[in-house]
Amino acid sequence: MITLLVLFHSSHGSVRSMANEISEAAEALGATVLLRTFEQREAHDIVVSKDDLLRCDALAFGTPTRFGMMAAQAKQFWETTSDIWLKGQLIDKPACVFTSSSSMHGGNEATLLNLSLPLLHHGMMLLGVPYDVPELSQTTTGGTPYGASHVAGTANISMLSETETKICRSVGKRLITIAEKLK
C-alpha cells in the first residue's frame, strides 16, 4: 500500500480544495493519505512533522502563490530538513507541486518551479502534468505542465473549475501509479 503525503498551506481555501482533490484521487486507488499543513488553521488540521516526510512513499506539495514564490510557512519548514537531506532520505520518492493565485498571470508557473526546488535538492522525482491529460489543453483557468494550478480571481473563489479538478485528480492518480511502480 502506498502512503501519500499531501502537504499544503492554504490562505483562502483554494489550495485546500486542490489538496482534497489530489487526496481523493489517491484514496480511490487504495493509497493511504496523510493530509498535512504547515500550521493549524482549522480545528482538524494536522501540522506536518519531518517523520511524515520519512513515512511517505510520495509527496504532493502546494501553497498559494506569493509573488511567484511559495508561502513563507512552507519555506520555513523546508529550511528545517537539512538532516533529512544530509542522509538522502527522500531520494527517488515521486513528488508533484500545486498552487493557486488570484489572477491568471499571478505567478503560478514561477511558484510551481519555486515549490520544486527543495524537492529537487532532496533528490525527489518531480512529476508534472503530461499532455495526455486532455484538460491541460482545454483549460481556460489553471493547469500547467509544471503542476496543477488554480486561478481564484480577485474574489478568492476557492471552488475549482471542472478542468482544474480533473487536472488535480490526474496528478493524484499519477503519483500513486508511479509510486507503486517504484515500490
Q: What is the pLDDT of residues 66-92, one digit of tens each?
A: 999 999 999 999 999 999 999 999 999
Whether residue 154 is predicted with pLDDT greater than 80 in this model: the reply is: no
Of all residues in the chain, the percent with pLDDT exceeding 90 is 91
Cβ contact 6:37 at 8 Å? no
Instruction: Please give the model's pTM, rounded to 2 decimal places.
Output: 0.96
| Distance spanning both ends of the chain, measured CA to CA | 9
| pLDDT tier, 130 (very low <50, low <70, confident <90, very high otherwise) | very high
What's the CA gap between 87 and 122, in Å, rounded?
10
Beta bridge partners of 3: 32
Grid coordinates in use for 150? 488554480
- Whether domain 3-182 has CATH 1.10.8.60: the reply is no
Give the number of other CB atoms < 10 A from CB of residue 163.
19
Cell 488554480 sits on residue? 150
Cβ contact 147:5 at 8 Å? no
Per-residue confidence (pLDDT) for residue 153, from 0 to 100: 82
The answer for residues whose C-beta is within 8 angstroms of residue 107's C-beta and 6 or more apart is 65, 67, 68, 69, 101
For the chain, how long is the longest CA-to-CA vector? 44
Q: Any idea where the domains of the chain sit in the sequence?
A: 3-182
Cell 508561502 sits on residue? 71
